Structures are given as C-alpha cells and as structure tokens.
Amino acid sequence: MKKGKKNITQIDANKDTEFIKWQAPEFEYRPKDVSWYWLSLMAAIALIALAVWQKNFLFAIFIALAWLVITSLANRFPTIWEFKIDEKGLSVFLPNKKSGNNRFYLYEELEGFDIHPAGEEYKELVLKIKKKFSPYLKINIHLNDEEKIKNFLFKRLAKHEYEISLTDSLSKLIKF
C-alpha cells in the first residue's frame, strides 16, 4: 500500500531537537479474493454444525455473528496514523484531526522495544508498555526507516526480544 508514505524528517530546525516523524497505516492491507470468503463461510458452517450437534445454540449464534463481523471488516482500508518520536517520548495522532484520538507515551511509561517482520512494505515496531491490560503497542514502520528508528530508540529504551503471539501469527496466516 503506497498511500500515506512520507519521508522521515530527523531535525527540527526551529528547536534544534532531534526527532523522527512518519506516517503509516494502522495495519497492512491485504486484499481478500472470493476464495477467502468461501473458506471463511465453510469454516463458519462447520463450527455452527458442531455447535448444533453439541446442542450449544448460543455458540452457534456467536459463530454466525462473528462471521458477519469478520467479513464486514475484511476489506476495510486502514486508517493512516502519524507518529513522532523525540527526546520526551512517542506521539501517536491522526493527521488533520482534533486531539481526541491523540496519545503521548513518555519513555518512563515504556519498558522496551523490538522490531518484527510484518509484511512486504513494513516492519512492526513493538513497544512494551508498563500497563497490565494493554501491554504492547504495535506500530508499522517503513522497511527503509528501520535502522534510523532502531538507533534513535536504542539511546532511550532497552531492546528486548518479544515473541510473536499466537494471535498475530494466526491473523497473518489467514491474511487478516
């Protein structure tokens, strides 16, 4: 996906402070063909049949609703977010929008970072947050910007190896 690609700017001439700023989609879009929908429908029918055989009608209803939600979200295009890392922390915001969705993470709120392969155009910057309910923040970065971002974060955060979760592996497998 070419939309939203911007070059990285490293020096703010007005303040003489170092920062890195980029735009990236919230996820890498993967178009689904007709066979993807047929396979998902067959899987849903098989699970519904299993639920009915087990006389678990609530589960059957859940599977039907889940299939409807997944297929409606399958071809949704990602929102383009803007990211900025500087000496204070990480800013995440929607360009040209009001501050309602903006978020700022101080380095004190972060434990460490890692970079994982994500797709054809992007890698995934994984930031470990010091919260129990949302421990990881995953951000797409352009392949050619990986070294700049890694070197910038090395000065401020520890690099840790974070395993790719089963959910992430499964979503990549089914192209979601």
Cβ atoms of residues 102 and 8 within 8 Å: no
Count of domains for the chain: 2
Residue 89 lies in a domain: yes
86 shares a domain with 21? yes
Q: Which of 87, 124, 82, 118 has the alpha carbon at shortest distance from 103?
A: 82
Residue 4 lies in a domain: no
139 shares a domain with 92? yes
The pLDDT tens digits for 125-165 are 888 888 777 788 888 888 888 889 888 888 888 888 877 77
- Would you call 133 exposed, middle or buried from its count of C-beta atoms within 10 A (0-12, 13-18, 19+)? exposed
d(CA 55, CA 10): 60
pTM over 0.75: no
DSSP E strands: which ranges in the chain? Answer: 9-12, 17-25, 80-85, 89-93, 103-106, 110-117, 122-129, 136-142, 158-159
CATH, residue 135: 2.30.29.30
Cβ atoms of residues 128 and 160 within 8 Å: yes
Domain with 126, as residue range(s), is 9-29+76-173
121 shares a domain with 49? no
Residue 1 lies in a domain: no
DSSP sequence for 91-106: EEE-TTS-GGG-EEEE
Residue 3 lies in a domain: no
The pLDDT tens digits for 43-101 are 999 999 999 999 999 999 999 999 999 999 888 888 888 999 988 889 888 877 665 67
